[in-house]
Amino acid sequence: MDDCTAHRPTPLSLDEAVGRIARSYGAVTGTEQVPLRHALGRVLAEEVEAPVNVPPAAVSAMDGWGFAAEPGQVSRAERHRRLNVVGRVPAGSVLDRGVEPGQAVRIFTGAPVPAGVDTVAMQEDCRTDGDAVLVPAALPRGANVRSAGEDMTAGTVVLQPGRRLRAQEVGLAAAVGRSTLTVRKRLRVVLFSTGDELREPGTPKPGHAIYDANRYTLAAQLDGLGVEVRDLGILPDRADATRAALAEAAGTADLIVTSGGVSVGEEDHVKAAVNALGSIDLWTLAIKPGKPLALGRIGDTPFLGLPGNPVSAMVTFLLVGRPLVLRLSGASAVATPRSLVVAGFSFAKKPGRREFLRARLERGDDGRPVAVKFPSDSSGVLTSMVEADGLVDMPADATAVHPGDMVEFLPFTGLFG
């Protein structure tokens, strides 16, 4: 066995890596209060309780006519009931009288139902006749009426800490009267790339150089998770520059993310610098794309080193970086979204390594979504990530997939944010 083989780390499975993150990392940020209009995408840091019933009283679910349903069976011949109209109830108003049997009121969506009303008939199913209205005779009691507290009851906790706030959570907070929420402060992430071959987009470059795409894709992915990104640009392939940048970043960041420099080449200085300043687990993940990946700490600051190939950097961030960022941000739900779709391609692989295939979704003849694999598996083909709608997850022990098989699909719509 040569020295290279002797010091080569045993690849971890993706599940093991994500499990380590769940066990070893938690929220590192403090809290702050923000206006409700600025709460979208933030991580909730308090319980939100409903102080009142929602709705506060029984209300009409639609525009129509309110009345008391008659008990008992209705004969087939009796298709309508004739009721005397005794009032009108717009939303936001209250009828100052009760409604007796044989009477009805004109009522609108969201209006509180008056005493004596237990049923609302849709206006399109009714017909007016002078001072009366004809309503469906067979309408069941309670139809089209929302009871008090149907949505939320007073004293119930409706939002738990750790939830990332989407539009629906923001709306729910507004519905219980909240104008501000206590949330986790935004995670501060320092980001840089390494490599003498890299150039900044928009600047001249020699023929052998390449523009740095990784820093921009990673910054966009981090932005989607609601963090604050400080971009240190491109570091040269020098041990002293790498070590100095990491040491400076550790004093101001909650997380350091790098691209490139975590492999085993002589010019890959990031791993050595992190080891000198702190500690590192070099995770060679048993996945494709994205085998080289480093996770460690510089002092108390977590460090994530991603591969240099653009597809590998994006995929490993989605699979490992995303749950890490969410855990550090205080989010309770960090699972990767996935669904089952039909394979529209053939693919063979060796067992032992989990592979993530770039694919787009098409609508099959039976209406089900069908995954169509991108032709190239190269980790350097960034166009594949543009053409794809997500990743097909091929388990480590799988050897082949055939058209018509069901496969797990990780949609980009759920991963980028």
| DSSP symbols for 114-167 | PTT--EEEEGGG-EEETTEEEEETTPPTTTTEEPTTSSB-TT-EEE-TTPBP-H
d(CA 79, CA 134): 9
d(CA 192, CA 54): 49
The answer to the question of residue 333 being in a domain is no
Supply the pLDDT for residue 3: 45
Look up the CATH number of the domain holding residue 93: 2.170.190.11
Supply the pLDDT for residue 2: 43
Do 137 and 242 fall within a single domain? Answer: no
Asked if residue 317 lies in contact with residue 16, where contact means CB atoms within 8 angstroms, the answer is no
Look up the CATH number of the domain holding residue 236: 3.40.980.10
Supply the pLDDT for residue 265: 53
pTM above 0.85, yes or no: yes
Do 161 and 213 fall within a single domain? Answer: no
Supply the pLDDT for residue 272: 85
Q: Can you list the residues of the chain whose pLDDT is less than 70? A: 1-9, 72-78, 263-268, 282
d(CA 12, CA 393): 17
Look up the CATH number of the domain holding residue 166: 3.90.105.10
Supply the pLDDT for residue 252: 92
Residue corresponding to tokens 């991108």: 374
Write out the residue range of the structural domain in which residue 267 sits: 3-29+186-328
Supply the pLDDT for residue 10: 79
Going by C-beta distance under 8 Å and a sequence separation of 6 or more, which residues neighbour residue 239? Answer: 269, 272, 273
The count of domains in the chain is 4
For residue 249, the 8-state DSSP code is: H
> 263 in helix, strand or coil?
coil
Do 21 and 77 fall within a single domain? Answer: no
Asked if residue 53 lies in contact with residue 149, where contact means CB atoms within 8 angstroms, the answer is yes
